[in-house]
Amino acid sequence: MRKVFTSPNLSLVANAANVLEAAGLTTELRNTYAGGANGGLAFTEVWPELWVAAESVAAAETLLAVLREDDGREWCCPACKELNGASFELCWHCGGAAI
């Protein structure tokens, strides 16, 4: 197993694991409850981690790169031209779908 992603935010790590599992990769979350040791250990040592099998590292890194690219991108509604945050699938103003 090899570590492919870590973050202080467990939700981000769990979301990444869900994306990889949906693509058929086997994942393992580590340090999900290690935050209690913060202060006794270096803070980065207790961050949640996402691990995959060594033969799946390349595929996992490709999928994670796509996640990072999509992260934070705003989009313009084709119907009303309103700017929407990346987390919206539908326009907040008119309900139009993202392209």
Task: Give residue 48's identity as a one-letter amino acid code.
Answer: P
Q: Are 63 and 20 in contact (CB under 8 A)?
A: yes
How many CB atoms neighbour CB 47 within 10 A?
19
Question: What b/e sequence results for 15-37 when a residue is b if at least 16 CB atoms lie within 10 Å of its CB, and e otherwise?
Answer: ebbebbeeeebebeeebeeeeee
Q: Is the pLDDT of residue 62 over 60?
A: yes
Q: What is the pLDDT of residue 80?
A: 93
**Each residue's pLDDT tens digit, 35-61:** 666 677 777 788 999 999 999 999 999
pTM of the model: 0.67
Domain ranges of the chain: 2-70
Q: How confident is the model at residue 65 (pLDDT cuts 50, 70, 90)?
A: confident
